[in-house]
Chains A and B, each alone.
Chain A
Amino acid sequence: MTDRSKRKRTGLLLTSSALVLAGCTGRQSALDPAGQEAAEVYHLFAVMVIGGGIIWLAVIGLLLHACRGQRRAWSENEASRLIAWGGVAFPVVVLFALLVYAVWLMPTIRPWVARAVPEPTLIEVTGEQFWWRVRYPAEDGMAGFETANELRLPIGERVAFSLSAADVIHSFWIPSLGGKMDMIPGRTNVLSLQATKTGVYHAPCAEFCGTSHAYMTFSVVVMGQDAYDDWRRKQASGNQPGGSEGERLFAYHGCAGCHSVRGTTPIAGLGPDLTYFADRETVGAGALRNTRENVERFIRDPSSVKPGSQMPAFDMVPHGDIAAIAEFLTGLR
């Protein structure tokens, strides 16, 4: 925390001096790349900022010079030559070079994976108001499973996603790893990303999708291959039934009608899957930090913390029962 706030202060200092390329921090930042696409785009951006800065200084310098009172007036010929060189020749050359760079970059960072990767190995992500349904396919003898609002990815490997939307348009974007891809009802888009640094990253919904668009985020955990395999195995087998009071109340009050906790409840599938809920960072796809108090708060009245949430309020449920359910959920690790 202190490290981060120090880095934040450094970032601010650099901002004020307008030298902003270095030192930008954040788990949701395109300026702090942790993936192949993000890194390539960051380089492109750096080139453009430096080039653009020079061009801006030159143009404004010329403008200020032109507005000075005491100077020699240019002849019409000289002025026309300036238009031809500055307004036409120079931009044509620079823009063409830039375009070649960018067009070359496109297939490099977004190879056409749909053909290369067989369909079942795509991780399916579906945008719903206002959360993310995630389906990992079966692979290497491990069963497939559904989870929500969290992605885990192995480092160094290109992973492909199949992106769709259940209700309105959403957009899938992990700034630290790469650019975004829209999720459009009736269409399925494919995007592939390659993470290069382990860590936890944040991802917002990037297309306005309704009242709680601001509270539609997920976290991305980039792990070593072994840790990743362990996690998948653990997820594939689901939670173990513990027989706690909270577990019973979870079913009794109807939570299990919408939310699955795989291994303990039948598969429901209407709301976010809550298997291994305690491993997640937030409650309500980014609305609150994942603490027991916050889980209670969310169950009592979701709309007060996440306006427009589809989940009804459960403020009629006795206080103690909600506490027990929260205890159960925050114990699912």
Chain B
Amino acid sequence: MTEVAIRELSPEDFEAQERELREVWRTPSGWRYWTSVNNTQIGLWYGAAAFTFMLFAGLLALLVRVQLAVPENDFLSADVFNQAFTLHGTVMMFLFAVPIFEAVAIYLLPSMLGARELPFPRLSAFGFWSFAIGGVFVCGSIFFGAAPNTGWFMYPPLATDKEYSGIGADIWLLGLSFIEVASIAAAVELIVGIMKCRAPGMRINMMPLFAWYLLIVAGMILFAFPPLIAGDILFEMERMFDWPFFDAERGGDPLLWQHLFWIFGHPEVYIIFLPAIAIMAMIVPTFAQRPIVGYSWIVLAAVGTGFLSFGLWVHHMFTTGLPQISLAFFSAASEAVAIPTGVQIFVFIATLLAGRVIFSVPMLFGAGGLAIFVIGGLTGVMVALVPFDWQAHDTYFVVAHLHYVLIGGMLFPVVAGIYYYYPLIDARRLSDRLGKIAFWLMFTGFNVAFFPMHLSGLRGMPRRVFTYPAEIGWDWFNLVSTVGAFIFAAGVAVVVIDVVRPKHRQPKQEMNPWNAGTLEWISEPEEAWGVRSIPIIKSRYPIWDQPGLLEDIKAGRYYLPDAQDGARETLVTSVLDARPVQCLRVGGTSILTMVAACSLGGVFVALTFHWWIATLVCALLTLAAIITWLWTGTAEIPRSDMRDIGLGKTLPLYNSGPQSVGWWGMFITMAGDSTAYASLMFGYFFYWTIHDDFTAGHSGPGIAWPLLAVVLFVLAWLVMLLARRANAADHPGPMRAALMVSAFLTVGGCMAGLAGPHLNPMDPTTHVYPAIVWVVAIWTVVHGAVAIIMQLYCLARSVAGRMSARHDMDLQNVVLYWHFFVITAITSFGVLGLFPAVR
């Protein structure tokens, strides 16, 4: 605070500022409370919902354990058992492990970065409602005996067998696709938030480790979830319309699903694990009372883990009969990922050794989790070796391994995080006594439950058996496991009791009770505004290293101490060195997000039951809600161009192109979208590699129509560039004309694209070749349709005076979309048209 002269505010001004801020950031009351989009509410709801789903899935696990406690048991029927274990895995993975990190991130990140909000608060809210609706839909299915029952990785052809799986598989596919939308929304939000919304001075190498980890994880989500979405599309097309993607008799291959699923599924493990390590990376320095040792080591290790995790997926397929040479390659990669993981563990131990450790409940859970996780890591090294995996694969050894990894590497750190961060929510601490009881119950219960599974697995017990004969010698192991599971559950119950028990008699404590050094501890539980004023950061542990920081922030001596025009504002800074570049106005309370999520949920539910009209109605409603949301809440032209943010600094209120967060949001979304597209094309070439003649004598779409589509789409793109140019030169007339011409060309391109497979005629139910051609063509045409909607939207914005030469964010973002789209279109129709000729 030496560079600029600080102006002390008069008490009246100070009060006035607080009143304004409080009014702008006010949480709505009554039923409207649920329309809030503030990150503290969304984060809490997200966390509570994820935790509730976890308890539900935990109960399912207890049912499974009771059934297996003794041999030849008939507590559950085979059918209910199969639903129970499938739903247990699915819910734990998709409704707890991934969302809980989104919850923690949305809750903590803004204050940790010194921001008031993440850049797209309504997107967070939309993500949360999508998640909640999808989750209830998936969980509820078991009460109607309609839950998925083929194991959480849904291998076809069992899962595509309608007689066996009923609508369970559809519920899985559609429910989870919906939740994946929420995860990708969160990923976009977090990446842009971390890159663009840090407090001034917080250079990228000063970011809290939590932010580093979340940045990496969000990036991984962006490239890991889309392959599953592509797989889901193929899967659902096979189930709904009998397109034979996984049917060997008609040229399909069940292994393609396994590839797509595990290209998603393995990074998923690290998507779950890294955020938990991120929480540990915040807790450990606090209780060692010193900065982390080896900041760059741990960041590099996390980045390395993220990269390597995409090269391991085949280790889930060591027994499928792939060539040994490729097994050896993936085995080596799987071993290699243990190295960055080891580095992260040693960074924690080194930090503790270099400090003076204050032992407490969060540390207890952290250390206990580490002890469990290291066992899981060591068994992971074992199963990564091909010969051992041939024995251990799909047995209880793997069940033990994955629970050691996930519970030690994720659940224990999350509980540590609950005990550590609870004071941020309520200004009170959870009970030390209950915490210790919970820890010892969970720690012993866990090991009693899961350690024997290593042995039962190697003694030949496969996963997913609903019972076993008495004489086979697994009875004691299973009984012990069941007892352990109940002890563990008792521990979880103690945590729940500690969190929900009324605490109003307990006195409130001071902020930052653990004497932590990072910024999240500046947020005040009573106030919704996040930070009173946005500080200038000069250290990785600003609360330790910048004396008087807390008082200065609270006294409003930093940036943005007030609220103007009744708008919620936060600062946008540059990516690497965090120079302030813009004062961003973010969306406030709105019911639109809930409406959009509900109607999108309606689309997925209606699809499950094949209610086509309801599907269409819900889809139109979703589109309307999203367009209204964009129209009223984004790219608004501010009354004045500049804003005085305090400390003698003035920033623009409107930016477009790469300067703006919206452009980054579009860029990142399209990166994910392109990954899904690449996965579909992977499918196309996969079929090419497994067959001598992948067309199997079926007619292709021809050359003429696909190439005509390419030409029309390229022309449409060039005209879009002209439109952008005309707009920049402030010629609204030519710009509008160009938009219309481009839209017409796009319509033509879409029709030409579909004409190829339609006129030739290609029947997608006869063989996988016509089916994959249709899927690629439809994917591209749907993106073309979205492009047309965007063009019309820009046209309408321009006519309505909401877009101008200076305020051109909409057009800039649409042109960015077009860059991605034209690449997709050229690839799709180029490959569909030319590839059969040159194969």
Give A contacts to B, CB under 8 Å. Answer: 8, 11-12, 15, 20, 24-31, 37-38, 40-41, 44-45, 48, 52, 55-56, 59-60, 62-63, 65-69, 73-76, 78-80, 82-83, 86-88, 91-92, 95, 98-99, 102-103, 105-107, 109-110, 112, 167-169, 171, 173, 175, 178-182, 184-187, 189-190, 202, 204-214, 286, 307-308
Contacts and interface: CB of A to CB of B under 8 A. Distances in A.
A91 B352 contact: no
B611 to A, nearest CB: 28
A48 B391 contact: no
Interface in B336-355: 336, 338-339, 342-347, 349-355
A106 B330 CA distance: 13
B158 A87 contact: no
Contacts of B379: 52
Contacts of B332: 99, 103
B462 A205 contact: yes
Given A15-B455, A30-B458, A179 B319 contact: yes
A77 to B, nearest CB: 9
A214 B248 contact: no
Interface stretch (B202-210, B368-376, B660-668): B368-376
Given A29-B460, A76-B354, A86 B359 contact: no
Nearest to A288: B469
A168 B371 CA distance: 40
B294 A79 contact: yes
A88 B381 contact: no
B293 A76 contact: yes
B497 interface: no
B386 A102 contact: yes
23 contacts: A24-B455, A56-B374, A66-B357, A67-B357, A79-B294, A87-B345, A87-B346, A92-B339, A98-B385, A99-B335, A102-B331, A103-B328, A103-B331, A103-B386, A167-B157, A169-B155, A169-B158, A180-B393, A184-B248, A186-B253, A187-B248, A210-B164, A211-B164
Contacts of A52: 378-379, 381-382
B839 to A, nearest CB: 21
B78 interface: yes
B545 interface: no
A171 B319 contact: yes
Contacts of B452: 15
Closest 6 pairs (CB-CB, A-B): A179-B390, A186-B248, A28-B460, A87-B346, A189-B321, A214-B465
B353 A99 contact: no
B225 to A, nearest CB: 24
B459 A286 contact: no
B386 A214 contact: no
Given A20-B455, A307-B78, 9 more contacts: A73-B354, A80-B293, A83-B294, A102-B385, A175-B459, A184-B320, A185-B157, A208-B158, A307-B77
B350 A83 contact: yes
B249 interface: yes
Interface in B299-354: 301, 319-321, 324, 327-328, 331-332, 335-336, 338-339, 342-347, 349-354
A117 to B, nearest CB: 16
B363 interface: yes
Contacts of B359: 67, 69
B151 interface: yes
Given A44-B388, A79-B294, A205-B462, A56 B248 contact: no
B548 interface: no
Given A66-B357, A102-B331, A182-B320, A26 B78 contact: no
B393 A179 contact: yes
A297 to B, nearest CB: 14
Nearest to B465: A214
A111 B82 CA distance: 37
B476 A28 contact: no
B473 interface: yes
A204 B462 contact: yes
B510 interface: no
A182 B460 CA distance: 16
Contacts of B733: none
A208 B463 contact: yes
Contacts of A31: 455, 458-459
Contacts of A92: 339
A180 B157 contact: no
Contacts of B352: 63, 66-67
Interface of B: 77-79, 82, 150-151, 155, 157-158, 161, 164, 248-249, 252-255, 293-294, 297, 301, 319-321, 324, 327-328, 331-332, 335-336, 338-339, 342-347, 349-357, 359, 363, 367, 370-371, 374-375, 378-379, 381-382, 385-395, 452, 455, 458-460, 462-469, 472-473, 476-477
A12 to B, nearest CB: 5
Contact of A63 (B254, B371, B378, B460): B371
B350 to A, nearest CB: 4
B692 to A, nearest CB: 14
A106 B387 contact: yes
Contacts of B321: 181-182, 184, 187, 189-190
A102 B158 contact: no
Contact of A178 (B294, B390, B455): B390
A319 B269 CA distance: 56
A206 B339 contact: no
Given A20-B455, A76-B293, A210-B164, A59 B349 contact: yes
Contacts of A44: 385, 387-388
Greatest chain A CB density within 10 A among B335, B339, B391 is at B391
Contact of B339 (A48, A74, A88, A211): A88
A114 to B, nearest CB: 11
A175 B460 contact: yes
Contacts of B363: 67
B350 A79 contact: yes
A40 B335 CA distance: 20
Contacts of A175: 391, 458-460
Nearest to B371: A60
Contacts of A202: 460, 472
A201 to B, nearest CB: 9
B329 to A, nearest CB: 10
A214 B353 contact: no
A210 B324 contact: no
A169 B294 contact: no
Contacts of B78: 211-212, 214, 307-308
Nearest to B287: A67
A87 B293 contact: no
B75 to A, nearest CB: 14
A243 B795 CA distance: 89
Nearest to B337: A95
A53 B476 CA distance: 24
Contacts of B463: 208
B158 to A, nearest CB: 4
